[in-house]
Structure 1
């Protein structure tokens, strides 16, 4: 996928594209449906492109690096990304359409029916259609996808994640919610308790699941064998009050794994919330609960109840 970072106006291009416009945070089922409709408009010489926006001032379901990966998996061939700044917020839809998009060879523009350009707009669909008519570009308005009579939205998914309702979030995303980061060296408390964990670093851009213990999976791409390996895991997300933790951390205890993941990039996916975070009276009480959590996790995953190769 070709990636173009836009700071002001896009570079001129004569390549024929069908252009989907939106924030696309989460790349949820509604976004996937929009891309499906856009693909139907493609001719042999057209490329499927996305114009999307990002901001450094807020957390995301899919920060930009992960969004790129997911867009490529959706068959997007070209990605224009704008980092929204104070200057960019002053650009009007008229300027965007008549001065920016005219630098590109856009065959169709595809947006959801709730499309708006900038904050405080109820809808800009009608204006977009009028402006595109002036420059000879057709506009496809895709109906918003619903589930249980509710519109699938990134806002709703964020709330599910913040409340620990990761299964509900996954149903709207079409995949398990995941965080991608680097395994950092921690204080190794888990190892001393008999539960060595992979501590995920560089995840501040993600929406943080509520504090608690989760069932999950860990994936790591191995460049030597050129394959992705995965393990079932228990995830601890929160502040670790029993051991005097102060900051929010995400740690994964990989079931039946033996090895060293330090400084490697892994993806941690949340399957189901098991319980909330507890401030135990003693480390012994914590260990008892961790053993019970592991037993429950093994039962849920259909794994042997005794540890293997650890």
Structure 2
């Protein structure tokens, strides 16, 4: 898969041939997004054309509404998922001031047509400007027959919409199993191993301290059954999201993962955490001995959980 950065305005023929173009922000690349991309691939196979997905480098709400948006995926994580789904091109549009001021007609004329879209596929709620005008209902009027339009209806799970907002809420509530079902796989956080306080080492539970990238939605404070990848290998692990209230009195949130069977120094190395199950909340213990005893119980519970999954 090739990643192409786009800045408006751009020249014609960014790509050498016509393409099937999927539109959306695709945060999380969840089951609804995967269905949309699967339909794009079906269309591409019929016409022997490549599949391109166009997303943005930041959410439009950050520009139009000035909101501080939290994300399920950073751009690298999104790109990894797109590659696994067989997308040929990931087009990342820089959401600059000029692009944000495009009318609906200008978006179609100066972006979609210039990208040589043979077919455009988007969800029922996709907008490309003010939603009372730039919506899927009015899309054919702006397209003027220059490309085929496929509108994908709402996708549901247990009669609930599969959407990024619903997934973020599940993650923030510690409902990692629900998030996994809606995403089609566990929630992922990636980054590098940072320098922590080494309190885990003192307790006999050495941890890697995740320094994550981007404005990621954070799981609820507590302890989780996770799998952590470091130095090219996956390990069952228990991961704490919290303030280290027993030892540390700051207000900074730490994400620390104890990998079962791993005890190496790995500072500044890439690390990936997959989140499976919330096991308990953060507890302030009166002494380190009680904390150590609880961590032993946590490890046993999480080892049992993963053993039952096999």
* TM-score w.r.t. length of structure 1: 0.90
User: Could you tell me how far 1:123 is from its partner in structure 2?
Assistant: 6.8
- Aligned residue in 2 for 1:257: 262
Cα contact 1:215–1:274 (8 A) shared by 2: yes
User: Could you tell me how far 1:117 is from its partner in structure 2?
Assistant: 1.9
Asked whether 1:46 is paired with 2:56, we answer no
Which structure 1 segments of 5+ residues have no match? 223-228, 304-310
**1:78-105 C-alpha deviation (Å, 9 max, x unpaired):** 1111232344322222111012222122
Asked whether 1:300 is paired with 2:305, we answer yes
Alpha-carbon distance in structure 2 between the residues aligned to 1:234 and 1:254: 7
Cα contact 1:114–1:123 (8 A) shared by 2: no
Alpha-carbon distance in structure 2 between the residues aligned to 1:248 and 1:23: 28
- Cα distance change of structure 1 residues 189 and 119 upon mapping to structure 2, 3 Å threshold: farther
Does 9-18 or 207-216 show the bigger shift?
9-18
Asked whether 1:233 is paired with 2:237, we answer yes
Alpha-carbon distance in structure 2 between the residues aligned to 1:122 and 1:232: 50
Does 3-12 or 29-38 show the bigger shift?
3-12
**1:230-253 C-alpha deviation (Å, 9 max, x unpaired):** 110000012111112420111110
Cα contact 1:239–1:249 (8 A) shared by 2: yes
Alpha-carbon distance in structure 1 between the residues aligned to 2:94 and 2:263: 41
Alignment RMSD = 1.9
- Aligned residue in 2 for 1:155: 165
User: Could you tell me how far 1:221 is from its partner in structure 2?
Assistant: 5.7
Does 3-12 or 32-41 show the bigger shift?
3-12
Q: Secondary structure in 1 aligned to 2:216?
A: coil
Alpha-carbon distance in structure 2 between the residues aligned to 1:299 and 1:104: 52
Alpha-carbon distance in structure 1 between the residues aligned to 2:47 and 2:231: 33
Alpha-carbon distance in structure 1 between the residues aligned to 2:294 and 2:205: 12
Alpha-carbon distance in structure 2 between the residues aligned to 1:32 and 1:195: 38
- Aligned residue in 1 for 2:7: 7
**Which of 142, 148, 171 matches 2:181?**
171
Alpha-carbon distance in structure 2 between the residues aligned to 1:282 and 1:83: 51
**1:45-92 C-alpha deviation (Å, 9 max, x unpaired):** 410001112327522101111111111111111111123234432222
Cα contact 1:16–1:45 (8 A) shared by 2: no
Q: Secondary structure in 1 aligned to 2:106?
A: helix
User: Could you tell me how far 1:35 is from its partner in structure 2?
Assistant: 0.7
Alpha-carbon distance in structure 2 between the residues aligned to 1:239 and 1:261: 22
**Which of 272, 288, 295 matches 2:293?**
288
- Aligned residue in 2 for 1:307: none
Alpha-carbon distance in structure 2 between the residues aligned to 1:3 and 1:126: 30
* TM-score w.r.t. length of structure 2: 0.90
Alpha-carbon distance in structure 2 between the residues aligned to 1:282 and 1:86: 54
Asked whether 1:188 is paired with 2:188, we answer no
Cα contact 2:192–2:212 (8 A) shared by 1: yes
Alpha-carbon distance in structure 2 between the residues aligned to 1:284 and 1:35: 52
Alpha-carbon distance in structure 1 between the residues aligned to 2:10 and 2:82: 19
- Aligned residue in 2 for 1:100: 111
- Cα distance change of structure 1 residues 129 and 220 upon mapping to structure 2, 3 Å threshold: farther
Alpha-carbon distance in structure 2 between the residues aligned to 1:220 and 1:94: 48
User: Could you tell me how far 1:160 is from its partner in structure 2?
Assistant: 0.6
- Cα distance change of structure 1 residues 166 and 10 upon mapping to structure 2, 3 Å threshold: farther
Alpha-carbon distance in structure 1 between the residues aligned to 2:262 and 2:173: 29
Alpha-carbon distance in structure 2 between the residues aligned to 1:10 and 1:280: 59
Cα contact 2:207–2:259 (8 A) shared by 1: yes
**Which of 246, 250, 274 matches 2:251?**
246
Q: Secondary structure in 2 aligned to 1:279?
A: coil
